[in-house]
Amino acid sequence: MGIDELLQRDGLSPATRLLVLAIASVWRGDWGRLEGCAQRARQRRQPRQDFEETLLQAVLFAGFPRVVTAFEVLGDAWPAAAPPAGGALPPDQQAAAGRALFAAIYGRNEAAVHAMLRGFHGDFHDFVLESAYGRVLSRPGLEPRVRELLAVGVLAAQDQLRQFVGHARGALHFGATRSELREVLVTVLGDEKRIEPWLRRV
């Protein structure tokens, strides 16, 4: 579906849908679609900061090289008056905020996820907690519900079902509705028939 057709759908706010489309576009390297999302958000007077935060979060899901290009696309489509900076929690608050967010997302599975990550590599576990959760996902620029919907969307685009389930449950914990989850999946997968297997796992 095209961007404008998706924006006419109910069940997910246009502002959130544009961010979901944007982060999935970064993963796919679909720079024309990302540019279109930025242009429509600008026309709707959505804060540019929403896109800045989305691209910072995209580092965790799509990697540095794609996000370098994504910021270039954003800069062309929606120039900033000055280079953006800041927005993270104070450094002395990040670790505790990251741990709390991790616990809230994974709930009763928190210990098992910690153990899994440590089993992969101790430094990987620490990176996830300190950098992903403490420095990026705990940033107050987007509310946790929206950040989890972004994670849900990009993980579905990547066909990462198990991680999708964890973040979909996190989204529900933070107040998202099943209707919003459905619309996030429609937004990134494009075919309503494809989304039922995903929703059944949540």
Q: What CATH number is associated with residue 76?
A: 1.20.1290.10
Q: Is 9 in the same domain as 60?
A: yes
Q: Is 9 in the same domain as 83?
A: yes
Last residue of a domain, one of 134, 149, 164: 134
Q: Is 24 in the same domain as 95?
A: no
| Residue range 110-146, pLDDT digits in tens | 999 999 999 999 999 999 999 999 999 999 999 999 9
Q: What is the pLDDT of residue 191?
A: 78
| Residue range 159-189, pLDDT digits in tens | 999 999 999 999 999 999 999 999 999 999 9
Amino acid at 134: G
Q: What sections of 82-195 are H helices per DSSP?
A: 91-106, 110-120, 122-127, 144-157, 161-173, 178-189
Specify the number of domains making up the chain.
Answer: 2
E strands along 40-109, which residues? Answer: none
Task: Quote the percentage of the chain above a pLDDT of 70.
Answer: 100
Residue 38, pLDDT > 90, answer: yes
Q: How far apart are CA 178 and CA 171, in angstroms?
A: 9
Q: Is 81 in the same domain as 23?
A: yes
- A 10 A CB-CB count for 137 gives 24
Note whether 169 and 107 are within 8 A (CB): yes
Task: Quote the percentage of the chain above a pLDDT of 90.
Answer: 95
Note the pTM of the prediction, 2 decimals: 0.95
Range of the domain at 103: 91-134
Q: Is 190 in the same domain as 150?
A: yes
Q: What is the pLDDT of residue 42?
A: 97
| Residue range 56-107, pLDDT digits in tens | 999 999 999 999 999 999 999 999 999 999 999 999 999 999 999 999 999 9
Q: Is 68 in the same domain as 160?
A: yes
State the number of CA atoms in the 13 A half-sphere of 92 facing the CB.
0
